[in-house]
Structure 1
Amino acid sequence: MASFSKFATTLPSRSLRIRRPAQCTDFFYARPPQPRSFTHKPSLLVVARPILRPQLPFLYPGSARYAYLGRYISTERKQRWKEQFWRYVRINAYLWPAALLLTVLSMGMIHTKLERDYPTPREWSFWSRWGMREAKFTELADNAKINAILTNWAKAGRLYLSVLERLESEKYDGTNLIAEDGARVPAHGFHEEAFDVNAKSEQWRRGYHEALMGAARVAENLVGMCKLKGDERGQKVYPRESIPGPDNPRPKPLPFDKRHGHVTPPSSDQVEDAFPSPDLFYQKILNTAGFDTRQRLDAALAYADWNDFRGNKDVAENTFILAAEIAQRGLPAGSGRVVNVGTGMILKGREDAVTDNVLRVCTAFGVHHARNGDVKKALPVFLSVLRARKNLPASPIAPIATMPKPVVEEHEGLWAYVSALKDWIIERPYPPPPPSGNERPFHTLKEACEEVGLMTYIGEILFATSDSEREKGLSWTRDSVEAAEAIMWVMDEQKERDGRDRCRECLETGLHNWKAMSQQMARLAAKKEEEIQTGKGLFGLGLGTAQQLEKARVEKRRWEEENIQIDLRRQKTLPLLQEPLQPVVGGWLSTRV
Structure 2
Amino acid sequence: MLLQRIAHLRRPLRPPNNILRHRPRHRLFTHNSQLLLLFPSATRPQIPFLHSSSRKSKQNFTLSSQLNRFLSTERKARWKERMRWQLRFHAYFWPAAIMIMLAGAGTHQLYLERKYPTPREWSFGSRWVLRSAMTREFEPFSRIDGVIVDWARVGSYYKLLVERLEDPEIDGQNLIEQDEGGILVDGVGRTGFDISMKPESWGRGYHQALMGAAKSAEHLDGYVTDRKRKKVFPKEMMIGPSNPRPKPKPYGWHDPPKEENCDPAYASPQVFYMRILTTKGFSTRQRLDAALAYADWLDFKGLAETAESMYDWALDIAAGALPMGSKNVVDMKTGVINPRAEAPASENLLKASTALGVHHALHNNVQSALPIFLSVLKARKDLPPDPLSHARPKELSKPKEESVISAYLRAIKDWLVEAPYPPSPPSGDEPPFHTLEEACEEVGLMTYIGEILYATSSKEKGLSWTRDAVDAAEAIMWMMKEEDRKDGGERCQECLETGLNNWKKMARSMAKQAEKKENKNGSKSSGWLNFGRGDAADQSRRWEEELTQIDLRIQKTIPLVKPLEPARSSWLSV
Query: TM-score, normalised to structure 1's length?
Result: 0.82
Cα distance between partner residues in 2 of 1:168 and 1:514: 51
SS in 1 for 2:94: helix
Alignment CA distance shift 1:116-1:567 (3 Å) = same
Partner of 1:130: helix, strand, or coil?
helix
Tell me the distance in 2 between the aligned counterparts of 1:576 and 1:546: 46
Structure 2 counterpart of 1:332: 323
Task: Provide the rounded CA distance (Å) in 1 between the counterparts of 2:566 and 2:157.
Answer: 27
Partner of residue 207, structure 2: 209
Structure 1 contact 480–510 (Cα < 8 Å) conserved: yes
Q: 2-side partners of 1:544 and 1:441: how far apart?
A: 64
For residues 281-300 of structure 1, the aligned pairs below 5 Å read 281-300=272-291
Is the CA contact (8 Å cut-off) linking 2:276 and 2:290 kept in structure 1?
yes
Query: For residues 18-57 of structure 1, what are the structure 2 equivalents within 5 Å?
Result: 55-56=53-54
Q: Which residue of 2 aligns with 1:243?
A: 238
One-letter identity of the residue aligned with 2:210: L
* Distance in 1, Cα, partners of 2:63 & 2:355: 90
From 462, 474, 481, the counterpart of 1:473 = 462
User: Shift of the alpha carbon at 1:66?
Assistant: 6.2
Deviations 1:184-208 (A, max 9, x none): 99xxxx9843100000000100000
More off after superposition, 146-155 vs 553-562: 146-155
For 2:78 and 2:57, how far apart are their aligned partners in 1? Answer: 22
- 1:547 match: secondary structure: coil
* Partner residue, 1:45: none
Seen in structure 2, the aligned counterparts of structure 1 residues 377 and 329 have a Cα distance that, compared at 3 Å, is same
1:245-268: CA deviations, max 9, x gaps?
A: 1122221122222xxxx5211101
Give me the CA root mean square deviation.
3.4
Determine the structure 1 residue equivalent to 2:542: 558
Q: After superposition, give the CA deviation of every residue in 1:28-78 in whole Å (9 maximum; x if it has no partner).
A: xxxx9xxxxxx999xxxxxxxx99x97215996853656764553222112
Rounded to whole Å, the distance in 2 between the matches of 1:309 and 1:417 is 50
CA contact (8 A) 1:351 1:388 kept: no
Percent of residue pairs bearing the same amino acid type: 49
Residue in 2 that maps onto 1:483:
472
Q: Which amino acid aligns with 1:252?
A: K
- Say which SS state the counterpart of residue 225 (structure 2) adopts: strand
Structure 1 511/54 Cα, relative in aligned 2: closer, same or farther at 3 Å? Answer: closer
The code of the aligned residue for 1:201 comes to P
The structure 2 residue matched to 1:304, chosen from 295, 298, 304, is 295
Say if 2:182 and 2:190, in contact at 8 Å, map to a contact too: no
Work out which of the residue numbers 239, 242, 259 in structure 2 matches 1:268.
Answer: 259
C-alpha contact 1:449 1:487 (8 A) present in aligned 2: yes
Q: Equivalent residue for 2:486?
A: 497
Aligned-partner SS, 2:476: helix
CA distance in structure 1 between the aligned counterparts of 2:533 and 2:166, rounded to whole angstroms: 75
Contact 1:529 1:552 in 2 (8 A): yes
- Note if 1:379 corresponds to 2:363: no
Rounded Cα–Cα distance in structure 2 between residues aligned with 1:93 and 1:160: 40
Instruction: Report the residue type matching 1:472 in the other structure.
Output: K
Number of residue equivalences: 525
Deviation at 1:216, TM superposition (A): 0.5
Q: Given the two structures, how large is their TM-score scaled by the length of structure 2? A: 0.84
Please identify which structure carries the higher helix content: 2
Instruction: Report the counterpart of residue 9 of structure 1 in structure 2.
Output: none
Greater shift, 420-429 or 283-292, is seen at: 420-429
Is the 1:163–1:211 contact (alpha carbons within 8 Å) kept by the matching residues of 2?
Answer: yes
**Among candidates 516, 524, 544, match of residue 505 of structure 2:** 516
Partners of 1:177 and 1:184 within 8 A in 2 = no
TM-superposition CA deviations, 1:499-518 (whole Å, max 9, x none) = 21111000000000000000
* CA distance in 1: counterparts of 2:53 and 2:410, whole angstroms: 78
Can you list the C-alpha shifts for 1:143-184, whole angstroms capped at 9, x where unaligned?
Answer: 322111111111111111111111111111100101121459
Go from structure 1 to structure 2 and tell me whether the alpha carbon gap of 1:545 and 1:95 turns closer, same or farther (over 3 Å shift).
farther
Alignment correspondent of 1:254: 249
Structure 2: how far apart are the matches of 1:409 and 1:240? 56
Task: Quote the residue 1:141 is aligned against.
Answer: 139
Q: Residue 398 of structure 2 contacts residue 483 of structure 2 at CA under 8 Å; is this kept in 1?
A: no
Distance 2:500 2:205 in 1: 39
Q: Deviations over 1:75-120 (max 9, x none)?
A: 2112211111121111111111111111111111111111111111
Q: Distance in 2 between matches of 1:182 and 1:544?
A: 92
What amino acid is the match of 1:480? Answer: A
Task: Note if 1:399 corresponds to 2:394.
Answer: no
Give, in whole Å, the separation in 2 of the partners of 1:154 and 1:111: 22
Q: Is 1:321 the equivalent of 2:312?
A: yes
CA distance in 2: counterparts of 1:319 and 1:485, whole angstroms? 35
Are 1:575 and 2:564 counterparts? Answer: no
Deviation larger for 190-199 or 474-483: 190-199
Q: Distance in 2 between matches of 1:402 and 1:552?
A: 51
- Residues in 1 aligned to 2:400 and 2:563: alpha-carbon distance in whole angstroms: 19
8 A Cα contact 2:228 2:261, kept in partner: no
Q: CA deviation at 1:393?
A: 0.8
Decide whether aligned partners of structure 1 residues 351 and 334 sit closer, same or farther in structure 2, where only a CA change above 3 A counts: closer
Q: Give, in angstroms, the shift of residue 244 of structure 1.
A: 1.2
Structure 1, gaps ≥5 residues long: 1-31, 33-38, 42-49, 411-415, 589-593
Is 1:459 aligned to residue 444 of structure 2? Answer: no
Alignment CA distance shift 1:489-1:156 (3 Å): same
Match of 1:428 in 2: 419
**CA offset at residue 472 of structure 1?**
0.8
The letter of the residue matching 1:461 is I
CA distance in 2, matches of 1:126, 1:205: 17
Shift of 1:407: 5.3
Separation in structure 1 between the aligned mates of residue 346 and residue 172 of structure 2, nearest angstrom: 34
1:275 is paired with a residue of what secondary structure?
A: coil
Change (3 A) 1:279 1:294: same
Partners of 1:292 and 1:398 lie apart in 2 by 31
The residue type paired with residue 240 of structure 2 is G
Q: Unpaired segments of 5 or more residues in structure 2?
A: 1-36, 38-43
1:23 aligns with none
Instruction: Answer whether contact 1:61 1:70 (CA < 8 A) is retained.
Output: no
Alpha-carbon distance between aligned partners in 1 of 2:260 and 2:339, rounded to the nearest angstrom: 58
SS of the equivalent of 1:160 reads: helix
- Does the residue aligned with 1:263 lie in a helix, a strand or coil? coil
Higher relative contact order (CA 8 A, sep 6+): 1
Supply the distance in 2 between the matched residues of 1:436 and 1:573 (Cα, whole angstroms): 35
CA distance in 1, matches of 2:335, 2:375: 9
Question: Which is worse superposed, 418-427 or 335-344?
Answer: 418-427
State how far apart, in whole Å, the 1-side matches of 2:400 and 2:146 are: 27
Matched residue type, 1:180? Q
Task: State the secondary structure of the residue aligned to 1:272.
Answer: strand
Distance in 2 of aligned mates of 1:585 and 1:166: 40
Query: In structure 1, what is the Cα distance between the partners aligned to 2:468 and 2:394?
Result: 36
